[in-house]
């Protein structure tokens, strides 16, 4: 996992051309007026999902991981807590669904706060739990850039 502010994203362009293009998209888009939905950047290799929701208590969260995509989760408005733990410390709770590129896990990890203007990168070996409230449920808007990994 990487946690940083968007103003420092140049340091992570070395993760690959798709990550660089994802950061270009984040830096060049004013998301405040962008409606929820999926936005293709480079077809299925790189796309964004703009989401608005109310954060939830940690006991309602779910540990998840992906195999085909890495996430760049960028907070547009508000802040949320996110969980992170290496995949080898978790137990599979719901087997991998290749169509959804999603697997659920059980176990414990650590929680971090991702503030407005910051992003978290989750790679396939990072089990994560997004959408968690900090003190109490609150509205947020974020964009998740899905970066296909080979």
pLDDT digits (tens, 9 = 90+) for 46-72: 999 999 999 999 999 999 999 999 999
Query: 145 near 106, Cβ under 8 Å?
Result: no
Calculate what percentage of the chain has a pLDDT beyond 90.
98
What is the pTM for the complete model shown? 0.96
pLDDT value at residue 150: 83
CB atoms within 10 A of CB 41: 18
pLDDT at residue 9 is higher than 90: yes
What is the predicted pLDDT for the residue at 147? 98
Q: In sequence order, what are the residues at sequence separation of 6 or more whose Cβ sits closer than 8 angstroms to the Cβ of residue 94? A: 103, 104
On whether the CB atoms of residues 70 and 12 are closer than 8 A, the answer is: no
Q: Which domains does the chain have, with CATH numbers?
A: 2-148 (2.60.120.370)
Tokens representing residue 100 in the block: 């959804």
Q: Does residue 125 sit in helix, strand or coil?
A: coil
Q: What span, in angstroms and rounded, lies between the C-alpha atoms of 1 and 125?
A: 9
> How far apart, in whole angstroms, are the C-alpha atoms of residue 149 and residue 64?
17
- Is residue 54 helix, strand or coil? strand
Check the CA dihedral 134-137-65-146 and report its sign: negative
> Residue 20 is inside which H or E element, if any?
helix 17-28
């Amino acid at each position: 996992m990487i946690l940083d502010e968007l103003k420092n994203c140049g340091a992570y362009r070395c993760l690959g051309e798709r990550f660089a293009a994802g950061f270009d998209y984040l830096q060049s888009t004013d998301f405040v007026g962008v409606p929820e939905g999926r936005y293709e950047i480079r077809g299925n290799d790189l796309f964004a999902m703009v989401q608005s929701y109310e954060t939830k208590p940690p006991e309602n969260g779910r540990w998840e991981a992906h195999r085909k995509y890495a996430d760049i989760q960028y907070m547009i408005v508000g802040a949320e807590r996110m969980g992170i733990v290496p995949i080898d410390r978790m137990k599979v709770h719901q087997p991998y669904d290749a169509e959804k590129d999603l697997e659920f896990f059980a176990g414990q990890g650590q929680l971090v706060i991702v503030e407005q203007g910051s992003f978290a990168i989750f790679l396939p070996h990072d089990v994560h739990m997004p959408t968690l409230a900090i003190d109490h449920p609150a509205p947020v808007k974020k964009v998740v850039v899905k970066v296909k990994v080979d």
